[in-house]
Structures are given as structure tokens and as C-alpha cells.
A and B are shown apart, each in its own frame.
Chain A
Amino acid sequence: MSQPAAKLPFWVDFGLIPLLNLVAAFAVAGLVVAVIGENPLDVARIIIYGAFGYGEGVGFTLFYATNFIFTGLAVAVAFHAGLFNIGGEGQAYIGGLGVALVALGLDPYLPWWLLAPLAVIGAALFGALWAYIPAVLQAKRGSHIVITTIMFNFIAASLMAYLLVDVLNPGAGSMSPGTRFFNAEAVPPRLSEILAPFGVDLGGSPANLSLIVALLAALGLWLLLWRTRLGYEIRALGHNASAAAYAGVPIARVIVIAMLISGALAGMMALNPVLGDQGRLLLEFPGGAGFVGIAVALMGRSHPLGVILAALLFGMLYQGGSELAFEKPSISRDMLILIQGLVILFSGALENLFRPAVARIFAPRAA
């Protein structure tokens, strides 16, 4: 990843520029809304109200954000090592298998507070395992990680479809490809239940304790990247692989470790929908969260705090967007995909659109 020529103040780099990109994306989206014949301000109001205006909306926003924090962190840690992990979707999917196997095997015996930590380990382990082969192929054989991780998404999809249709399916009477429901005592309480005694009403939203796990993971990743030797090696590898090798960083080993961490984080995303919400493993439960994670990491500039904020933004778009589909039947769900696409375009692909101009304003003072 190339660094800007002039070093900008932290708040400009991480606050102002993403904000400008966001405003540009929403301006273009607003134009499209106007063309359809709706009032853009009205639409913006519905999205923001839907995402933050009432308890259940906030809960759903947090629920989606939890998914994106995990997958965003997964992509971010790989970015720091100079690796582009596109396999978050597959790693999350297989992570779900880890969660489900733990829950299906132990839910008659354990209460949720004993089962949940094991499920976290199961999710991380399976996710990491799915990233391991592409990582080794990259480290030892030079097979490009982008290609192998994409292919592993397809293998994951096929494997899971086979398992959910033929092996883990409870059988006759159940049409939908999925496992049986986990025992109710094994499913952790939702945030709405935990917060209800304190007068906070999150309605029927599925936000659950996975959010806390996600925030802890973000903190852990920050500590790892900026406060440990391994983190330094990962970042050194990402900045300049040959310099890192010259400095004595064991390149192959660090590639594999970075990808294992990345896969584990992606796998942990499965906790949120599988254990926290549905209480069973369903076909295609990641629903594209692995790919959204790429946008979240780009937008959050691969910093754990930035990832959390970007995840919150995408959570808002998801929940606000569905509110929009309810309130305005003329705007289909594809509109939401368009807005997301614009956000990704402006904050990812056109990241440097405003940077030169902003740099001219701020660089002399910084220098």
C-alpha cells in the first residue's frame, strides 16, 4: 500500500477525508433518488430514523455492524500484511460449521455461558483452518492469495450445502437446508433481554453478546498490531516484503500467521447470526458479510477503530435501507445496493479523489 507523499494530521487522514468521500457518495445517491421521483432528504431522514431512531432499529443496526466488524477486522489484518483476503465469506461460512458442531454436540449438557466460549473457539478454529491452505500455498508456493481465497469461497459453499442438505439436516419434515435448532438454554441472551431491566428497549432485534466479542477482538487486534513484535513483523511485511526479509522477518511464517488470524476473525462472524440470532446453522447465512468486510476495511483504513465506525455505517445502511423498503414501496431493495456501491466506490476506489486538494490545505502546516 502506497503512502501519501505528505504526512497529514491524524484527524484529517482518518476523519475528514473519509467524511468527504461519504458526503460525495450520498450526494450522488441523492441524485439517483431524485431521478426516481422521491425526495432525497425524505429518504435520508427515513434511513437515519430507521437505523437510530427507535430501539429495534438501533438493535438491528448493531446486529449488522457486529457482522461487519468481524469481517472488516479480518480483511484489515490481512491488508497490514500486504495480503488481500477475499475469502472472508467462505471462512465465515466454515466458522459457522465450527459454531454449529460445538452447539449441536454440547447443547444438551452445557448452559450458554459455558458453551459460548467454546463456540468462539470453534468458530475461530474453523475459520482459521479454512484460511490456512491458501496461506500455505501463498507462503510456500507463491499461489496468489486472491485467487485461492476466492476459490475457497466456492469450495466452502459446496461443502456446506452438502453438509446441510445431506448430513446435518434433521431430516423428514424440514424443507429448509439447515441444522436443527439449538437447545434454548444453550443460546446466549440477546442484548434486548439484557438491557430491558435498565429501561432500554431494543424491541425484537437480534443484537446479542457477539457485539461485545467483536469489540474485544478489535481491541485485541489493535494491541497485536501496534504493541507486539508479531504485529510489527506483520506491518513490516505489508510495507515492504524484501526489506522485512532483509531485517530478518520470517516471511513465510508471518504470512501464514496473519492469514490464520484473518480467518479466525472472519470465522467468528458466524457467532452473531448462528448462535446469537437464528439458533441454528442455515444455508448461506453469511449473506455477503465477508465481501462487505472488504469495503469496511478499506473505509476504516485498516485501523480497528476505523473498522468499527465503518461497520456501524454499513450496519446503518442495511437497517435504514430495509426501513426505506418498508416505507417507500417505490424504492426497491436494489437501491440500497446502489448506495452501498457508491460508498465503496468513493471510499475505496476513489479514495484519492479529494486527497491532493486536502493535502494542499493541510500539508504546509504539518510539514
Chain B
Amino acid sequence: MIRSTLFAAAVSALAAGGAFAAEFKPAIVYDLGGRNDKSFNESAYTGAAKFKEDTGVEFRDFEIQNDSQREQALSRFARQGFSPIISVGFSHEGAVSKVAPQFPDTQFVIVDSVVDLPNVSSIVFKEHEGSYLAGVAAVLASETKKVGFVGGMDIALIRKFACGYVQGAKATDPKAEIFQNMTGTTGAAWADPVRGGELAKSQMARGADVVYHAAGGTGEGVLQAVADAGKLGIGVDKNQNDLHPGHVLTSMVKRVDTAVYDTFKQAQAGEWRPGLKVFGLAEDGVALAMDENNQALITEEIAAAIAAAREGVISGEIQVHDYMSDSACPVQ
């Protein structure tokens, strides 16, 4: 114990020395999906790459291969004087809460989970709010009033997406029917476009004409199948409107890139603060993407309804239930 305390003290002295030298060394640790997952991790990378482009500051990153490497990667970066260190993904929660106390002068950031420590800032997104708007848009754009949802892996986070979507759809038209499918129960469910396409086709066969996906790489198959059938899809995480212009109604973007970029900026300016940072509709942390690819699809009626719903959620007039709060969804 004394050993490790001494060690931590020595390391923090080193880290402090680094800070005096005014050398800014940011780092990112990705989750198992890796840097190029076309979704969440890649979005974090995009933010960091933009920071590098704007400021010329190099960053280091690491793609873990198994759970044991989470702590290893964090303490390595911390020991080498990197700060802030952004851990992308809720799975890093345990590792961050273990490593952060050992390096009290290093700034740690965790995305998608909450770690309550004096040198950690937690960034979480209100995916249910963005998905609510997607549900509103989907039902209004639907002629059959039947809409679909294709999730990736069946975990709480994705049920949070689904639950927000259903609430938005039901609030717009109580008689609307929503078909929900999860692609699978393993990590492979994030990268199975063929199965994603099949699920979308089966939902369309039951009458759905708008399908929202929250399925990473699997979603590419969903959007493809929907576009092939001449129906509408809704993208997720990144702006996917340009994948099939005219067939992607909108995208529920989750601005991990902005969060990473801002974190680096604040840390560089010495304005980084620990604590919880929630990115919802009000903070533009989640939003529906509008651009020239989907402007023909978003009628004035839909645009007005989205704007009204957005205002309602921000003002608190509309309460969107968060699946994570009690592991249940009030509507199906």
C-alpha cells in the first residue's frame, strides 16, 4: 500500500512537472469497436482529428482488444503524462473509477457513463430525447402510420433509443404501430448489415414505411434495404442523410465529436472542469440532422412538429421517459 502511494505520488509529481512545461498531451482510449467503427468511436476520433487540424496539437489514441486492457491503457497514458484522457464508452466505467484516484492530477473524461470523482468529467447524452423527435418525424412522414425500429445489440442503451422513439411516435398518433427488432445479442450485432436489411424488409412487409436504426454498421443494411424499397430510413449517431439522398428522412445525431473537441479545447485553455455534463436537445448534444439531402422530405408540417416537440422537451412540458432510469418503458 505504501509502495503504491509513493508510486502514485511520484507519478503525480511527474504529471505536475509536465503541466508546468505547458505541454498539452491529450489522449483517447476507444472501446472494443475500435477507431473505425463508422459510429460512436469513429465520431470521437473525428472530433479529435478536427482538434488536431485546428490547433496542430497531436493526440495519442489506443484501441483496446479485451477488458483487461482498459486499466492498462489508462494508467499507461496517465503515467506518460497524458491529460486529458478520454475514455469512449460506458464499459470503461470500472477502469476509470479505479485508475483516476491513482493519478489525481490527470484529467479523465468518460463518455456515456458517470464516474463521480474529483478529477473525472462524465459526458452523457440524452439519446431518448433525440429518439423522441425521430419518432415524431417518422409517424408524420409515414403513410401507413406503421413505423419500424432496428436496434443493434440488445442492451439497455439501445432500449433507451427504442423507448424514446416509441414515445415520440405514440405522442404524435396514439394509433401508430411500431415494430421493434434487435439484431442480436452479441457484439456481432453491430456489424451485420445483411441481417439488418432482412429485419427492415420484414418490418416493411408488415406495413412499415419508415424505419429508424440504432445499430452501428448493421444500420447500413437497414438504410440500404429501405432505400431499395422506396421507403424512408432514419440514421443514427452521425449524419447519414447523404447515404441514400431522398430515402433518409433524417438522422438522430449524437455529437460525440463535438464533446471530444470541446473537451480538448477547454483543457488546452485551462478551463476543464470535472463533473457531470449532460448533452440533450437543449445543449445540441443530440439533434435531428437537416441538410440539402433531406429538405424535400421534411415538409413544413413535419418541421413544425419537430420544432414544437423540441421546444416542449427543452421547456419540460414534454417528459420523455428514460429507459435507463428504471429499466422499463411505459409504452410499447
Residues of chain A having any CB pair with chain B under 8 Å: 56, 60, 63, 157-158, 161-162, 165, 169, 171-177, 181, 196, 204-206, 273, 277-278, 282, 284-285, 287, 318, 322, 325-326, 329, 332-333, 336
**Other A-B pairs beyond A161-B153, A322-B65, A325-B62, 19, CB < 8 Å:** A60-B68, A157-B185, A158-B186, A161-B186, A162-B185, A165-B155, A169-B156, A176-B113, A177-B155, A204-B75, A273-B68, A277-B68, A278-B94, A282-B91, A284-B187, A287-B65, A325-B63, A332-B63, A333-B65
B326 interface residue, CB < 8 Å from A? yes
Assess A176 versus B325: contact at CB under 8 Å? Given A162-B185, A278-B67, A333-B34.
Answer: no
CA distance A157 to B3 in the complex (A): 41
B175 interface residue, CB < 8 Å from A? no
Residue among B63, B67, B186, B325 making CB contact with A333, cutoff 8 Å: B63
Q: Check A284–B186 contact: CB distance below 8 A.
A: yes
Q: Name the 8 nearest CB pairs between A and B, nearest first.
A: A161-B185, A175-B90, A287-B66, A157-B186, A158-B185, A176-B91, A333-B63, A206-B68
In the complex, what residues of B have CB within 8 A of residue A206's CB? 68
Residue among A172, A176, A322, A329 making CB contact with B69, cutoff 8 Å: A322
CA distance A285 to B60 in the complex (A): 26
In the complex, what residues of B have CB within 8 A of residue A174's CB? 156
> Which B residues, 253 to 295, have Cβ-Cβ distances below 8 Å to chain A?
none
Q: Check A175–B76 contact: CB distance below 8 A.
A: no
Q: Check A175–B185 contact: CB distance below 8 A.
A: no
Binary interface encoding of chain B residues 42-67 relative to chain A, with 1 for a CB under 8 A from any of its CBs, else 0: 00000000000000000011110111
In the complex, what residues of A have CB within 8 A of residue B62's CB? 325-326
CA distance A273 to B153 in the complex (A): 23
CA distance A176 to B63 in the complex (A): 18
CA distance A318 to B73 in the complex (A): 14
Q: Check A175–B187 contact: CB distance below 8 A.
A: no
Q: How far is the CB of A178 from chain B (nearest CB, A)?
A: 9
Q: How far is the CB of A42 from chain B (nearest CB, A)?
A: 19
Residue among B69, B113, B186 making CB contact with A175, cutoff 8 Å: B113
In the complex, what residues of A have CB within 8 A of residue B94's CB? 181, 278
Residue among A171, A205, A285 making CB contact with B67, cutoff 8 Å: A285
Of residues A56, A63, A278, A285, which shows the largest number of chain B Cβ atoms within 10 Å of its Cβ?
Answer: A278
B58 to chain A: closest residue by CB: A329
A284 to chain B: closest residue by CB: B187
Q: How far is the CB of B256 from chain A (nearest CB, A)?
A: 15
CA distance A290 to B73 in the complex (A): 24
CA distance A202 to B35 in the complex (A): 30
In the complex, what residues of B have CB within 8 A of residue A162's CB? 185
Q: How far is the CB of B317 from chain A (nearest CB, A)?
A: 25
Residue among B65, B68, B155, B327 making CB contact with A172, cutoff 8 Å: B327
In the complex, what residues of B have CB within 8 A of residue A285's CB? 67
B324 interface residue, CB < 8 Å from A? yes
Q: How far is the CB of A154 from chain B (nearest CB, A)?
A: 8
Q: Check A329–B90 contact: CB distance below 8 A.
A: no
B93 interface residue, CB < 8 Å from A? yes
Q: How far is the CB of A144 from chain B (nearest CB, A)?
A: 23
B72 interface residue, CB < 8 Å from A? yes
Q: How far is the CB of A236 from chain B (nearest CB, A)?
A: 39
In the complex, what residues of A have CB within 8 A of residue B113's CB? 175-176
Assess A172 versus B325: contact at CB under 8 Å? Given A177-B155, A196-B3, A284-B186.
Answer: yes
A288 to chain B: closest residue by CB: B66
B177 interface residue, CB < 8 Å from A? no
Q: Check A63–B34 contact: CB distance below 8 A.
A: no
Q: How far is the CB of B52 from chain A (nearest CB, A)?
A: 12
CA distance A149 to B62 in the complex (A): 34
Q: How far is the CB of A182 from chain B (nearest CB, A)?
A: 12
> Which B residues, 175 to 211, have Cβ-Cβ distances below 8 Å to chain A?
185-187
B37 interface residue, CB < 8 Å from A? no
Q: Check B154–A172 contact: CB distance below 8 A.
A: no
CA distance A157 to B113 in the complex (A): 25
Binary interface encoding of chain B residues 62-93 relative to chain A, with 1 for a CB under 8 A from any of its CBs, else 0: 11011111011101100000000000001101
Q: How far is the CB of A7 from chain B (nearest CB, A)?
A: 41
B157 interface residue, CB < 8 Å from A? yes
In the complex, what residues of A have CB within 8 A of residue B71's CB? 204
Of residues B62, B63, B65, which shows the largest number of chain A Cβ atoms within 10 Å of its Cβ?
Answer: B65
A-B contacts, 14 of them at CB < 8 A, read A60-B72, A158-B186, A161-B153, A162-B185, A171-B327, A174-B156, A177-B156, A181-B94, A206-B68, A287-B67, A325-B63, A326-B62, A326-B76, A332-B63
Q: Check A172–B324 contact: CB distance below 8 A.
A: yes
Of residues B68, B75, B94, B185, which shows the largest number of chain A Cβ atoms within 10 Å of its Cβ?
Answer: B68
Binary interface encoding of chain B residues 12-45 relative to chain A, with 1 for a CB under 8 A from any of its CBs, else 0: 0000000000000000000000110000000000
Q: Check A176–B327 contact: CB distance below 8 A.
A: no
